[in-house]
Amino acid sequence: MARFGAIPKIFGRIHPRYLTPDVSTLVMGAVSLVWTLVIINVSQNVLSDSITGIGFQIAFYYGFTGFACCVYYRKEIFKSLKNFIMVGVAPFLGGAMLTYIFVRAFLDYKTTSTDVNYSGGFLGVGTPVAIGVGGLLVGVVVLVFANIAYPKFFKRKWETADPGILEGTVKGEASVMSD
């Protein structure tokens, strides 16, 4: 990420003797330590709450990816029945199912009752919701900040493969795509 300019260049620095990313290793170690201390003090059952919380993030990410697939390949969907099912219907249904799971889990785990949650609550919501949805919200804040601080990364041109590569109608050519 530092090499592409999405985060400060210092995070990409490699230690000359150990040949490891020293600054990013130390910063992530400190962040992990702080996170561990916070979560141990908030949760009675750290493993269960963390796994459930990460489930929110997984459902969001893969659900969003399913919908993004439909949008990205929208011009390819109606070219054949196979494309319609594999590029349209399957990703959309996957996105819809994961969205349902996300919402249903949120409604189930938002309560601070220990009947449902392993550890009760944190900041007025269930601990898994605080971990999962809170992590997503922190990510949005970081994304907005990074977009302002490092606009070059977000405005760069992307190389994409032609969808015909999947069908074998196009050899491995890449095209450049911009926003």
Instruction: Tell me which H or E stretch contains 52.
Output: helix 46-72
Q: For the chain, first and last CA: distance in Å? A: 20
Share of the chain above pLDDT 70, in %: 82
Hey, what are 19's tokens?
Answer: 């040949």
Contact 63, 94 (CB under 8 A): yes
Contact 82, 163 (CB under 8 A): no
Contact 127, 49 (CB under 8 A): yes
Q: What is the pLDDT of residue 137?
A: 92
Hey, what are 168's tokens?
Answer: 């074998």
What are 14-33's pLDDT values in tens digits? Answer: 888 888 888 999 999 999 99
Hey, what are 57's tokens?
Answer: 């993030």
Q: Which residues pair with 121 in a beta bridge?
A: 126
Domain ranges of the chain: 1-42, 45-150
Query: Pairing relation of β-strands 174-177 and 121-122?
Result: unpaired
What are 66-125's pLDDT values in tens digits? Answer: 999 999 988 888 988 988 999 899 999 999 999 999 999 888 888 766 666 666 666 677
